[in-house]
Chain A
Amino acid sequence: AQSVTQLGSHVSVSEGALVLLRCNYSSSVPPYLFWYVQYPNQGLQLLLKYTSAATLVKGINGFEAEFKKSETSFHLTKPSAHMSDAAEYFCAVSKGDKIIFGKGTRLHILP
Chain B
Amino acid sequence: GAVVSQHPSRVICKSGTSVKIECRSLDFQATTMFWYRQFPKQSLMLMATSNEGSKATYEQGVEKDKFLINHASLTLSTLTVTSAHPEDSSFYICSGGGPTTDTQYFGPGTRLTVL
Contacts and interface: CB of A to CB of B under 8 A. Distances in A.
Interface residues of B, number: 22
Nearest to A104: B43
B57 to A, nearest CB: 10
Contacts of A98: 34, 46, 49
Interface stretch (A21-29, A37-45, A73-81): A37-45
Nearest to A4: B43
A13 interface: no
Interface residues of A, number: 21
Contacts of A90: 43-44
A6 B13 CA distance: 35
Contact of B49 (A42, A44, A45, A97): A97
Nearest to A106: B41
Given A43-B93, A44-B93, A96-B101, A101 B106 contact: no
A83 to B, nearest CB: 21
Contact of A43 (B49, B102, B108): B108
B32 interface: yes
B34 to A, nearest CB: 7
Interface string B37-64: 0000011111001000000000000000
Contact of A101 (B4, B6, B43, B101): B43
Contacts of A41: 91, 109, 111
Interface in B13-53: 32, 34, 42-46, 49
A104 B38 CA distance: 11
6 contacts: A34-B102, A41-B91, A45-B106, A90-B43, A97-B49, A103-B42
